[in-house]
Amino acid sequence: MFEHIYFARPDSILDGQAAWQSRSQLGVELAREHPADADVVIGVPDSATAHAIGYSSESGIPYSEGLVKNRYVGRTFISPDQRLRDLGAHLKYNPMPSVLAGRRVVVVDDTIVRGTTTPRIVKLLREAGAAEIHMRIAAPPIRHPCHFGVDMATRQELIAARKSEEEIRRHLGADSLGYLSQDGLQRALSLGKTTCLACFNGDYPVSVQTDFEFDTLAVPLVTAHPRPTNGNGNGAAPRRSGRSDETMVALAPERR
Ligand code: SF4
């Protein structure tokens, strides 16, 4: 599923169709389900560009680039901790006031996972003068973790697992918010009935253990304590902290 929406290169052929075409069609469905009164459509680069162009072609609202991506900053998705993800989001996008100032803007993104990057994007767009910001998301709300290899977040971290759509809109600071429905997703991608959609609807195709207390890929952090000296310069070796609740770190950092 996420190969179609996000992971695959736009020129990849998936199930006989270029990923770029599939993403554009997701944008078409999104525009049908969630129209907006706006002056311009922009995408969050680079992955949502095709979705935004699809939204524009269906709605008739002109498409433009409105955010320029800094190619020298890594993806926030793969930053190893929250502080670096926050900093990365600020460094990563440069808004274009010449496109945004005084205009009502539809901003199309592919997904919202934790909801940490999108509020910063909305803030950047407001600072650049956007009069209104209408967030449109080309996938349904992600409410359940993936147990099949896409290490996106724990359930507690998924914003849509904790908040209603109106609460998410307020959290983002957008004037409106619209997610593509599951039916819209299936129409756009011509999905068969057996395709996994579990991160959207919780209907896992095989039984999974859903009640892990901690991230299963987490390990206790080794904490170095001051070495007590024994008078001859030798000290005790660093030891493991016994407080697992505050010393868990993830080995697999690919989170957004
Ligand atoms: S839960 Fe299913 S649809 Fe969601 S990321 Fe995992 S495999 Fe893909």
Tell me, using a 6 A CB cutoff, whether residue 191 lines ligand 1: no
Write the CA distances from 145 to 53, 91, 113, 126, 211, integer angstroms. Answer: 29, 28, 10, 32, 11
The closest alpha carbon to 204, from 154, 147, 140, 150, belongs to 147
Question: Phi and psi at residue 28, in whole multiples of 5°?
Answer: -60, -50
* 80 Cα to the center of ligand 1, angstroms: 22
How far is the C-alpha of 179 from the C-alpha of 199, rounded, in Å? 14
C-beta of 113 in contact with ligand 1 (< 6 A): no
Look up residue 243 and give its two tokens: 């407080």
42 C-beta neighbours (distance < 10 Å), count: 28
- Ligand 1 atom 4: residue of nearest CA: 199
Q: Is the CB of 197 under 6 A from ligand 1?
A: yes
Under DSSP, is residue 136 helix (H, G, I), strand (E, B) or coil?
strand
- Domains recognised in the chain with CATH numbers: 2-201 (3.40.50.2020), 218-250 (no CATH)
Position in ligand 1 atom list of the atom nearest CA 145: 1
What are the residue ranges in the chain where pLDDT is below 70?
A: 73-90, 210-256
Name which residue sits closest to atom 8 of ligand 1, judged by CA.
Answer: 1
- Which residue, by CA, sits nearest to atom 3 of ligand 1? 197
User: What does the alpha-carbon distance between residue 210 and residue 191 come to, in Å, rounded to a whole number?
Assistant: 25
8 Å CB contact between 27 and 138? yes
Q: Rounded distance, CA 23 to CA 3, Å?
A: 10
Q: What is the pLDDT of residue 86?
A: 59
Instruction: Find out whether 138 and 181 touch, Cβ atoms under 8 Å.
Output: no
Please tell me the predicted confidence (pLDDT) of residue 246.
Answer: 30
Give the model's pLDDT for residue 113. 94
- pLDDT computed for residue 31 by the predictor: 98
Distance (angstroms) between ligand 1 centre and the Cα of 206 equals: 12
Looking at residue 207, its pLDDT comes to: 86
For a ligand 1 pocket test, name from 150, 151, 155, 200 the mutation site with the most ligand atoms within 8 angstroms of its C-beta: 150
Render pLDDT for 151-197 as a digit per residue (tens, 0 to 9). Answer: 777 888 999 999 999 999 999 999 999 999 999 999 999 887 788 99
- Specify the ligand 1 atom closest to the Cα of 152: 5
What pLDDT score was predicted for residue 144? Answer: 94
212 lines ligand 1 (CB under 6 A): no
